[in-house]
Amino acid sequence: MWRGGSNTRTCKRRFFSSPTRSRHHRPPYMLHSRGSQHLKAMAEVDHLAAERATARFDVEEMKVAWAGSRHAVHVADRMARLVASDPVFRKDNRTMLSRKELFKDTLRKAAHAWKRIVELRLTEEEADLLRQYVDQPGYVDLHWGMFVPAIKGQGTEEQQHKWLPLAYKFQIIGCYAQTELGHGSNVQGLETTATFDPKTDEFVIHSPTLTSSKWWPGGLGKASTHAVVYARLITEGKDYGIHGFIVQLRSLEDHSPLPGVTLGDIGGKFGSGAYNSMDNGVLRFDHVRIPRDQMLMRLSQVTREGKYVHSNVPKQLLYGTMVYVRQSIVADASKALSRAVCIAVRYSAVRKQFGSQDGGPETQVLNYKTQQSRLFPLLASAYAFRFVGDWLNWLYTDVTQKLEAKDFSTLQEAHACTAGLKAVTTSVTADAIEECRKLCGGHGYLNSSGLPELFAVYVPACTYEGDNVVLLLQLASGKQPVGTMAYMGKVQYLMQCKSAVSSAEDWLNPDAIQEAFEARALRMAVNCAQNISQAASQEEGFYERSPDLLEAAVAHIQLIIVTKFIEKVHQEIPGHGVKEQLQALCNVYALYILHKHLGDFLATGCITPRQGALANEQLGKLYAQVRPNAVALVDAFNYTDHYLGSVLGRYDGDVYPALYEEAWKDPLNETVVPEGYHEYLRPLIKQQQLKLSRL
């Protein structure tokens, strides 16, 4: 995701030169400094040094565990610092920009990023990371993330040779035009038509209804010159369903819409800054003609005579792109969640409230058990999502290799896992970012905390690339007990087993955790199956029991996340104390899920109420174990202050001067006397032009 912003108007902070402001009118804090110069001039401090000194593990080695390799740490660190040191990528004033200013700034950042990529001859890995750290949603995301993969996945070799070189050099800019005003998750209900005309050897792309308007594609509104458009293929009077077509939308000379093409931006979106930097668009076609060879023809094609023909390439390859996109979304969930948690943990360590009644020092907010019980599970979740994302990336690579060999044995599992994990991780992350905002108290509501914008830019992930409820119901319809569903092959044992936990410490046994989660998931699934079998039809049963199926699907996905975390900590992990800390976080995650969904475990008879109480007791002990390591655990994410974009999450913990300084950057403070004073405030105060009515 790209997020960021810059504007010279607010950079200059005109109140310094305002004729109405004298030296005495300036805020006392600003008398001797401008902007960040004040902080630079201050003696360097680290208010979190004491916290870091209590860490019981090697932070540098934990960075490797988080990133996946030393190489990944070094490349990410280099790219993050490259972005942070470049003034073009400034983003601290992004929420103050108008929509037009924000979009222009996005174009400027994207162009500058491409310039730096070319100048520095960055590798694909480095370029991807640079764009990530620029941190501002824009057309580039959809160009690389959807347009290019669609052509690679669905285009013939000839089509790839024609279009990909143009896309790689940005000689064309593409988007992915699938969602319509009237249809999103139900792709088969799309209304846009592509009718083949054998007389001219062309497809006629048309929007027959208002609801057939393409609606939401990122990059479509203002930037894209081309789109992969999904439409109903009609030839010889027959509707062959949804297919992809490469359609030029705008002139490559002056960027104006081509004849028959109506398009624009759909308007402002939730939050300040945030996803408003993206030009989500609306698109309508009025009988637009394209050559026949612009139909993506890897899986099927239309002949010159208008015959619809399937190719030898298996249609299952279509799922490859979908799996890729969804595994990327899971990876993004861990990034967004870890950013929010980093901010909340650091600020909770800095912030002090209440404490001794005899005038002693106040207590760090992070020391309160209520703060720990809300925050530490989110910290554990960030690590859990990171490691399940790593596994999902491995699964995608494995599936891709097998698909090329026409081996579809793991495709169903990959499709189900990516759908379910996308749904669970995005929903949890969106809620967790908001929880982190609340954990930061009133200051978390400020734009300068970074949390409101992080929430606003992330929350669309719950609905794009598949509504989360729909995806979980798709998962619930899975059948084969293979891979992550292999535990269902132990149905006889798991239906009758009883947990052997007799003490709080027993819950530290990964086998005890694994068995409880497997039994819960299986019994919920079996219960759903039994209830559906009693319905008049399977379809009716599925419909009536869909809420239960939803909960069963969540239980299955949570089992996968717990299992992959357990597998991670069983690996050889170098570094003093690293494995022990990951083990603690793994246990926090598992027991927190057990505590949160205790009703499931009790209702299915997996554990007893006493065992549930013991799990909660052990969870409290684990929080105490995490506490001295909390700041170091978020340091291991290795985020620069620029990327975090939060005065509360500063590495040095010097939040109060930063908060104060940020306030004076707001355009409202450009003058001492506000605009509108003479028209509205002065007459009210002086009562010169108002006649008091008698009540």
Binding site, annotated residues: 179, 218
């398009």: which residue's tokens?
Answer: 263
State how far Cα 145 lies from the chain centre.
13
**Of the candidates 392, 414, 390, the residue with the CA atom closest to the CA atom of residue 402:** 414
- Phi and psi dihedrals of 633, rounded to 5? -65, -35
Distance CA 52, CA 352 (A): 17
**Of the candidates 431, 464, 468, 429, the residue with the CA atom closest to the CA atom of residue 333:** 429
- Cα–Cα distances (Å) from 137 to 110, 178, 365, 402, in that order, read 10, 19, 33, 33
Residue 530 CB coordination number (10 Å):
11
3-state secondary structure of 354: strand
Residues at the binding site for FAD are 179, 218
Whether the Cβ atoms of residue 462 and residue 426 lie closer than 8 Å to each other: yes
Q: What amino acid positions are annotated as catalytic residues?
A: 465
Exposed/middle/buried for residue 220 (C-beta within 10 Å: 0-12, 13-18, 19+): buried
State the sign of the Cα–Cα–Cα–Cα dihedral 361, 367, 368, 371.
positive
Whether the Cβ atoms of residue 591 and residue 615 lie closer than 8 Å to each other: yes
Q: Which amino acid is at 194?
A: A
List the structure tokens of 388: 């399940």
Whether the Cβ atoms of residue 535 and residue 541 lie closer than 8 Å to each other: yes
Distance CA 520, CA 528 (A): 12
Distance CA 158, CA 344 (A): 51
CA atoms within 13 A on the CB side of 13: 17
Whether the Cβ atoms of residue 168 and residue 207 lie closer than 8 Å to each other: no
In sequence order, what are the beta bridge partners of 250?
257
Show Cβ contacts of residue 670 under 8 Å, excluding neighbours closer than 6 positions.
13, 14, 15, 18
Show Cβ contacts of residue 683 under 8 Å, excluding neighbours closer than 6 positions.
689, 690
Question: What is the DSSP code string of 488-525?
Answer: GGGHHHHHH------SGGGGG-HHHHHHHHHHHHHHHH
Whether the Cβ atoms of residue 2 and residue 109 lie closer than 8 Å to each other: yes
Cα dihedral value 321, 323, 328, 330, nearest 10:
160
Show Cβ contacts of residue 468 under 8 Å, excluding neighbours closer than 6 positions.
422, 423, 424, 426, 427, 462
Distance CA 501, CA 607 (A): 9
Whether the Cβ atoms of residue 460 and residue 409 lie closer than 8 Å to each other: no
Q: Which amino acid is at 597?
A: H
In sequence order, what are the beta bridge partners of 265?
281
Show Cβ contacts of residue 374 under 8 Å, excluding neighbours closer than 6 positions.
435, 439
Distance CA 649, CA 339 (A): 9
Distance CA 418, CA 394 (A): 12
Q: Which amino acid is at 471?
A: L
- Cα–Cα distances (Å) from 151 to 205, 225, 292, 325, in that order, read 19, 15, 16, 14
**Of the candidates 542, 414, 413, 420, the residue with the CA atom closest to the CA atom of residue 480:** 413
The DSSP bridge pattern shows strands 238-248 and 226-235 to be: antiparallel
